[in-house]
Amino acid sequence: MCFQSTDIARCRHQERLKVMTAAGQENKGMPDHHRPSGADVINTLRSFGLLPYLLKENQEAQFCHVYEGRRHYDLVDDSIGACVTVLRRWVASCREDHPECKFSVVDKMEETPRRLLDLSDPLQSPENRWSKLPRRVRVIESKDEMLAYVAISYRWPHASKYWPRLTFKNYTALTTAGLQTDVLPRLIRDAFTIALLAGIRYVWIDCLCIHQGKDDEWVIESAKMASIYGRAAFTVEFVDQTSLVDAAEASRGMFLKTEHGDHDINGDFSPPYNPLSPESVYQWLETSGNFPSRPNGELDTRGWAFQERLLSRRIVSITKEGIFWDCLRLSACDWRPLGFLGDFSPRFRDSDERKIKGALLNGRAHAQEEHGLSATVRKKYYLLWRRLLQSYTCRAFTNPPDRLMAIQGVLHRLRFLLQEEDHHFGVWEGDVLRSLIWSVETEGENARVLLSEPFVKVPSWLWASVDAPVQYGLWHPFWRYRDRDIEVVAPPHTVVENVSVKASSPRQLSGCSGEVILRGPLATLETTKVRRLPGCKLMFDPRPEAWYSNQVSPDFIRDTSRLTRYYEVDCLQDLVIMKILEGGYSEDQMAQYCLILQPCLPPKPLSRQNGVKPHLGSLPSSPSYHRRLGLLVVDKTLDNFCADDPDICKDDGCLLEKKQKRDGRLVSRRCLGRITTIAIV
């Protein structure tokens, strides 16, 4: 019995196959007046001068083979069967011919998913067990077996309480009798259909393979996302909630779009371009939608889906514009099954994604070096991580505290590449100072409205302390933000003396507490003078109004009611800053990067905070406590500003200034800082 559109289409698919088999040779060789043959399409494309723009050399035979395979299903009005034919070819070709897409050493070493869904219905006869959607599916414990499975990426629905899930109450029932498929949402049944038609028996989906409500299991399984999605035969992602039937119908029989909406070109097609001009051909192909790329959808805005796509080696995307394929070598769709020539995705998204995924999933050569990673290789991984965070912090969450947990799979993979280097929720031990230099994107398409309550309870210097897209790109008044592969960073005068971070609860990663202890030049500036400085930028973090009134020290409060989401800071007569480093993308255009701080009340004794060991005893004196307010960037060539301590400053302009001794130390009219040890919480 069929309950939804996908099941109805599948039943029709079975009947049509019987009709095709019974017809046998009777239909063979008969002319088809509805669909041209593959050879006809090739000849027409060649005559119109389009073939070199749509197919690579020597791909004509492959195209005809795939096209004719689809055409058999199109003849009997079976769009799902046509798309599955293409999908099987993608999977088989990728497994056989793409060495970069095969499981890496770390994939084989890591744990398998704890549970899987078994789609083999024992109540069905053996001959029908794989031919249609089973009546029941069963949760099984995988027991570290190397089972082929399909992973699912989707957005949890708004009415999630009605969504099927694995709990303590139904665990026994789901692992013995199983779950009836007719009560499952259409999205899940579509994923089962794709897996079965691709010949794969098992499926992994978080709601039925991880205990919902068991926090410690979520923490353990979230760290395994790199292997769960990386080891899947492929991942099915539902980009915009489109059903499998609608996605298959969207591109049925299509190979070339025309201005009249025709899906097949024929002798009546009149080229609206100059075949002798590549520029004219490219312009028409692009404007007419003939350079397809996977459309963006709601899934691309969700936080959990970020690492699910990033960690998957092969992805099948179900969209309103058709079915798309992405692996580490190829991007294709069901109506361009051999792939796209060039990258016409938004902002070269597909090429950049393959480059990033290649470094993340196949970077095992450097990770296995006996003598450790070189400083250059480490810097490349640090830069990769910061770029990933820039994209990740643009995503939204239904449950904001998930922001720390939903990136653990990526961190787990990067930690392997960095030879088990420790990190503090994404702040790597060897990159602490550079990781402190971030700002917030408060304008443009990625800006979001500030929450009225604190976003996640984490230290103010951590990237997750603000509910907004984080920007790590270095800023300079002559070029604004740039994003290059090589950064020029001068040796900093500030040093990291200690970093300590502890999760708020060992059972879940919903927040953390901790501090970073720095020793460097601390200075106090008049706010009005800073605003008048040429070549500088004040970037304050967007934080709730209550954050200031609760955390600021009594002698610092002036008018906290004006410290609002609109970043009005005129009430701060003075700015407390600490210079962190000097950097840029070229040596002739460098800037000074200073944290804007506010003195705050000391936290609770560290010995009382969830077992965090106190580290202050080893310091010569207890540091003063501060919280981060934002970032100040000043052009290095600015003549009348220096945040260094005169005892250590080596700037030529400062050396020419008159210096004198006062209280046993140097004093300069230009050098504003003084070496101090502080703790930022």
Task: List all residues 6 or more positions away from 47 whose beta carbon is below 8 Å from its beta carbon.
Answer: none
Same domain, residue pair 330 and 456: no
The pLDDT, as a whole number, for residue 69 is 85
The interaxial angle of helices 375-392 and 303-310, nearest 10 deg, is 140
Same domain, residue pair 223 and 83: yes
The pLDDT, as a whole number, for residue 285 is 87
Same domain, residue pair 97 and 243: yes
Any domain includes 91: yes
Same domain, residue pair 157 and 260: yes
Final residue of a domain: which of 338, 362, 386? 362
Give CA–CA dist 215/603, Å, rounded: 27
Mean pLDDT, to the nearest integer, of 229-256? 88
- Asked if pLDDT for residue 337 goes beyond 80, the answer is yes
Final residue of a domain: which of 301, 331, 362? 362
Using pLDDT thresholds of 50, 70 and 90, give the confidence band for residue 124.
low
The pLDDT, as a whole number, for residue 37 is 83
Q: Which domain holds residue 559?
A: 431-680
Any domain includes 4: yes
Give CA–CA dist 224/239, Å, rounded: 23
Same domain, residue pair 455 and 347: no
Any domain includes 408: no
pTM: predicted TM-score of the whole model, two decimal places = 0.85
Same domain, residue pair 562 and 469: yes
Any domain includes 406: no
Task: List all residues 6 or more positions away from 143 whose beta carbon is below 8 Å from its beta carbon.
Answer: none
Same domain, residue pair 352 and 437: no
Same domain, residue pair 251 and 332: yes
Same domain, residue pair 325 and 182: yes
Same domain, residue pair 554 and 651: yes
Question: Tens digit of pLDDT for each residue in 488-539?
Answer: 888 888 999 999 999 887 667 788 999 999 999 999 888 777 777 777 888 8
Question: Tens digit of pLDDT for each residue in 526-576?
Answer: 877 777 777 788 888 887 665 655 554 444 433 333 333 333 444 567 889
CA 90 to chain centre: 24
Give CA–CA dist 72/13, Å, rounded: 12
- If you write DSSP's letter for every residue of 264-327 in order, what string do you get? S--TT---SS-TT-HHHHHHHHHHTT-S--PPP-GGGGBHHHHHHHHT-SSEEEEETTEEEEE-
Any domain includes 391: no
Same domain, residue pair 47 and 186: yes
- Asked if pLDDT for residue 363 goes beyond 80, the answer is no
Any domain includes 176: yes
Same domain, residue pair 575 and 673: yes
Question: Tens digit of pLDDT for each residue in 440-469?
Answer: 866 555 555 554 455 678 999 999 998 889
Any domain includes 376: no
Final residue of a domain: which of 362, 396, 417? 362
Any domain includes 385: no
Give CA–CA dist 376/427, Å, rounded: 18
Mean pLDDT, to the nearest integer, of 23-40? 52
Query: Into how many domains does the chain fold?
Result: 2
